[in-house]
Structure formats: structure tokens, C-alpha cells
């Protein structure tokens, strides 16, 4: 039986790719994003394949979240798969030079937004004794890099929140997975650099990064394994990306 899948950040990147992937399986989709025009374009593209309800919403606004989710039509309310995809990085400055408002935005989106959606839908999953929460983390949650400061910290939160959800849900038929992509060529860097497309493109120059479709395929696979199997986490990088040696500053002397 086709599932009902809710995707945040659905208008582009991983979210839009997931919408297209699950539409191929005739899943009912609840697509959540800030930009109503992008959502409508995606709906027009996919509605011949499945039932779709769109929600134009900023998940950092708690009042708007509760109002919008309360208005989801009854036929879409029993969410089988929640994909907490909405998230962003802002800036790449070191912590001493970073814009504090960027830190707040990342925390409000990557942590609080994810928590709001989870808090709203998890009780229903537990009551039905069925469901799957998929959180989109990052390799930055495990492996720090210069300028990653708060972004990496938010993804470390997502990683540990996912693990703790698994502990809380022991004995219930609700699955939790954390998907942790490395470098992927989406609009991620364009957002991080606040529309500086030249700077964003340099991130992917001469590299074959992951694509949104690559990640969507993994997310779909995680939901398709037998019900007694829980994929706790998947860390995935492009073949061209790996860890570097530990940094050593050789200029400091007593």
C-alpha cells in the first residue's frame, strides 16, 4: 500500500528529489517549503503520479507551524514517513568573525524546525505503532572543518537526537534513520554564500559531487527495507571526497 510521506524543504535539492522519487511509487505527498511558487511548480509536475498536498511554511515560525499542520486534510494526516530535510548553512567564517544572526538561523532551522515537525507527528506514529522518521544530517556532524562551527554543531545534534529517538522508541514499530551526506551539488553552497554563485561554484569545481538524486535514492532505499530492519545511519560521500590529515599549526612557538 502506498505510503504518505511528508517532506520539509521540499521545493529544491534533496527535498524535491525525494518528492520525485516517492511519487514514482504513487505515495501521497505532503510537501512543505517556504516558497509557494516552487511548491506549485513541483505539484504540477508530479500530480499525475500521486496525491499531493502543499504547505507553504517557514518551519522556524512555531505559530505558523501549528496552524498549517492543523489544516492538513484528513486523508494526508497519517504520516508514514517524515523526512526532516529542511536545513541550511550560512557563512564560512571562523567563529570569531561569524554573524551571530546566521548562527541563530541555523539553530532555528536545523534544530528547532526539525524538533517541531518531529514533535507534531511522532505521537501519531507511536499511537498507530507504525512510521519512519528520516533526519537529514551531514558528515559535518561527525567531522569538523574550519568555518563549519555552528552548522556542524547543529548536525551533530541531529545525529544524537536521532540516536536518542531510537532509544526512546525501543519496542515500538517506528523507525528512525539519520542520513549524513558529504559534498553534494545542490543550492546548498549558493545559500551558504548568500547568493554568490561564483563562490558557490568554486566548491564543486573539478569535482564530481553527490547529486540530489543520489541522496534521494538512498533515502528511498532506507524506507524500503523489511519492516524489522532499521537503518540507523548512512554516511555517504562522493568518491572524490575523503578526510584529510589532522591540521597542525607549525608557526606557534613558546
Q: Which residues are catalytically annotated?
A: 151
Residues 6+ apart with CB under 8 A from 212: 13, 14, 16, 17, 184, 186
| CA–CA distance, 33 with 101 (Å, rounded to integer) | 21
Query: 43, 65 in Cβ contact below 8 A?
Result: no
| CA–CA distance, 9 with 15 (Å, rounded to integer) | 5
Of 79, 183, 176, 66, which Cα lies nearest the Cα of 132? 176
Cell numbers that stand for 213 in this block = 538524486
Amino acid at each position: 500500500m502506498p505510503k504518505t510521506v511528508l517532506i520539509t524543504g521540499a521545493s529544491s535539492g534533496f527535498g524535491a528529489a525525494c518528492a520525485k522519487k516517492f511519487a514514482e511509487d504513487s505515495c501521497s505527498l505532503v510537501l512543505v517549503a517556504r516558497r509557494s511558487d516552487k511548491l506549485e511548480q513541483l505539484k504540477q509536475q508530479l500530480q499525475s503520479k500521486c496525491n499531493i498536498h502543499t504547505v507553504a511554511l517557514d518551519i522556524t515560525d512555531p505559530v505558523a507551524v501549528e496552524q498549517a499542520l492543523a489544516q492538513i486534510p484528513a486523508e494526508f494526516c497519517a504520516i508514514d514517513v517524515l523526512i526532516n530535510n529542511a536545513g541550511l548553512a550560512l557563512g564560512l567564517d571562523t567563529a570569531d568573525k561569524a554573524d551571530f544572526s546566521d548562527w541563530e538561523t541555523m539553530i532555528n532551522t536545523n534544530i528547532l524546525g526539525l524538533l517541531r515537525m518531529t514533535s507534531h507527528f511522532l505521537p501519531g506514529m507511536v499511537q498507530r505503532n507504525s512510521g519512519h522518521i528520516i533526519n537529514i544530517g551531514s558528515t559535518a556532524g561527525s567531522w569538523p572543518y574550519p568555518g563549519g562551527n555552528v552548522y556542524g554543531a547543529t548536525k551533530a545534534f541531529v545525529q544524537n537526537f536521532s540516536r536518542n529517538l531510537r532509544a526512546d522508541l525501543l519496542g515500538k514499530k517506528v523507525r528512525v534513520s539519520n542520513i549524513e551526506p558529504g559534498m553534494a551539488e545542490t543550492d546548498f553552497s549558493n545559500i551558504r554564500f548568500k547568493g554568490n554563485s561564483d563562490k558557490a561554484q568554486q566548491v564543486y569545481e573539478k569535482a564530481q559531487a553527490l547529486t540530489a538524486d543520489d541522496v534521494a535514492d538512498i533515502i528511498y532505499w532506507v524506507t524500503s527495507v523489511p519492516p524489522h530492519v532499521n537503518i540507523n545511519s548512512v554516511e555517504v560521500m562522493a568518491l572524490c571526497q575523503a578526510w584529510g590529515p589532522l591540521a597542525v599549526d607549525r608557526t606557534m612557538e613558546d
